[in-house]
Amino acid sequence: MKKARIIIGTVFLLAGCILLSIPLYYEWQHTREVRALEEALSLISDGDELPDDAAFTYEEVTAVLELEIPSIDLKQMVLNETTEENLSIALTQLKTDQLPGQGNFAIAGHRGYRGDRHFSRLPDVSVGDKIYLNTPSETFVYQITDISIIEPEDVGILADQDGKTEITLITCTRSGKQRVAVKGEFLEVTG
């Protein structure tokens, strides 16, 4: 009986250690991927070439944008294609052919479980807050006009509207059953 308790206790202890290590592994993996992207960005900005074994292509790196929302201390990279791999690293463009300052520039991101990652604090923005979408040479400034909770199938919010230049930011609610949609109206381009 005593041996059975020791074996069961050991199994539970090992299972607990494994369960605790899973988030740590994902955190380590995410940090590694972000660091690789930052190193690639640094090489390109210094005029150097990417090594043959680089995790990202030249085209992927030169298409990276930066999204800033000062009111929630958000400063995140935006990759130009939405894939599960890209979403695990950064925010992503929902439409690959979109250009800042034209139509409805749509960006998606995971909610994240940490306060400084992805769109974890997106629901904390307010109407009137500024959004900055930075390219290597220009900054596109938007002002938040609407924050709403929508159903996952409400994709019409991403469509271009005639005569409107805007930005749409999308993430999940905490439950994951609905989406938080933040709309912003284009104000100006600087740089």
Catalytic residues: 110, 172
Contacts of 134 (CB under 8 A, 6+ apart): 65, 66, 67, 68, 140
How far is the first Cα of the chain from the last one, in angstroms, to the nearest whole number?
74
* φ/ψ bin of 73: left (φ > 0), alpha (ψ from -120 to 50), beta (otherwise): left
Contact 179, 152 (CB under 8 A): yes
Instruction: Report the candidate in 108, 116, 105 with the shortest Cα–Cα distance to residue 142.
Output: 105
Question: What backbone torsions phi and psi does residue 179 show, to the nearest 5 degrees?
Answer: -125, 145
Cα-based torsion angle of the residue sequence 98, 141, 157, 165 in order, rounded to the nearest 10 degrees = -70
